[in-house]
């Protein structure tokens, strides 16, 4: 089985009103959790890999581990570059065997964002590799912005329509008020904006910063066109807190399996809850053809 087509999986999710979970891979256990939960619940899974993780684990190790997991899976598994910062990074992971990439040029003015994203699409599409783009600001400090500044950082529907048309992306991460990392208070998602972006683009939308968003808000976002939800912070917190609990008062414990194993099981519970919230458990509309792309 090859890595799955992200575009195929997300189009099915959009058509059938569920979302696919994007789990950021930080080490072997995170990778195992994502694929094992996907297998157990018969759900697609997107393995998100950041540039920082590639620098930490090594690109060859990362791809080899993902391939080993994919080869044992009967469900669609996507290997995805998360927040690629440059054309050079995209080209690097494409050569290594990633099946989809995200180019995050949202820090640039709209015209430059479109130009760089289109350049990535022109590289990837002939190779059968899918592309996610980003519009607006999805940062880690959005909750600290003043109201006017926060609104200015959100994606505009008219610009989203142009962005999708001019780039040809397969998925769009449109800023609607979510953020990476911890939230200060309840995240304020702009559902009216989301609905309009979905109406004018008809493209699978991506919700970044899925950790910490209330369940009912995630469900509403999925009903308005979100087909992919990224989760990472909650998984890191559950994993790390379990390691701390196991090690607390056990100074003689030195075998990593004795604390990483329980951490992995705790994270599996958290990921399973998210996948079920997303409605991605046993979607009857896909099968072996979806995995092949």
Which residues are known catalytic residues?
Answer: 82
Burial of 80-94, coded b for 16+ CB within 10 Å and e otherwise, reads: bbbbbeeeebbebbb
- What gap in Å lies between CA 256 and CA 164, rounded to an integer? 46
Q: How far, CA to CA in Å, does 171 sit from each of 141, 144, 149, 185, 218?
A: 24, 28, 26, 28, 18
Half-sphere exposure of 34 (CA within 13 A, CB side): 31
* Helix locations, 101-146, DSSP H: 110-124
Query: What DSSP string runs through 87-107?
Result: HHHHHHHHHHT-SEEEE--TT
Give the residue from 209, 266, 258 showing the smallest Cα distance to 233: 209
- What gap in Å lies between CA 129 and CA 179, rounded to an integer? 27
Give the residue from 65, 124, 116 showing the smallest Cα distance to 86: 116
The SS3 of residue 42 is coil
Number of Cβ within a 10 Å radius of residue 57: 18
């Amino acid at each position: 089985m090859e890595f799955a087509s992200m575009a195929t999986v997300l189009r099915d999710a959009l058509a059938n009103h569920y979302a696919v979970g994007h789990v950021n891979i930080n080490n072997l256990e995170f990778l195992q959790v994502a694929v094992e939960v996907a297998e157990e619940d018969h759900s697609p899974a997107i393995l998100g890999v950041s540039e920082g993780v590639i620098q930490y684990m090594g690109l060859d190790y990362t791809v080899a581990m993902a391939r080993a997991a994919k080869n044992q899976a009967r469900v669609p598994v996507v290997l995805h570059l998360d927040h690629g910062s440059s054309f050079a990074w995209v080209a690097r992971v494409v050569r290594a065997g990633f099946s989809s990439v995200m180019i995050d040029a949202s820090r640039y003015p709209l015209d430059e964002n479109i130009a760089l994203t289109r350049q990535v699409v022109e590289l990837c599409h002939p190779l059968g590799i899918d592309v996610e783009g980003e519009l607006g600001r999805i940062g880690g400090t959005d909750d600290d912005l003043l109201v006017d500044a926060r609104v200015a950082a959100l994606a505009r529907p008219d610009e989203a329509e142009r962005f999708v048309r001019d780039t040809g992306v397969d998925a769009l991460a449109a800023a609607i008020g979510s953020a990476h990392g911890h939230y200060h208070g309840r995240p304020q998602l702009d559902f009216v904006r989301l609905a309009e972006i979905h109406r004018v683009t008809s493209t699978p939308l991506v919700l970044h910063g899925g950790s910490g968003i209330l369940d009912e808000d995630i469900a509403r976002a999925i009903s308005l066109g979100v087909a992919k939800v990224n989760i990472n912070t909650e998984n890191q917190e559950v994993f790390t807190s379990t390691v701390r609990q196991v090690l607390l008062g056990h100074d003689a414990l030195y075998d990593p399996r004795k604390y990483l194993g329980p951490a992995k099981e705790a994270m599996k519970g958290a990921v399973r809850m998210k996948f079920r919230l997303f409605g991605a458990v046993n979607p009857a509309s896909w099968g072996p053809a979806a995995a092949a792309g």
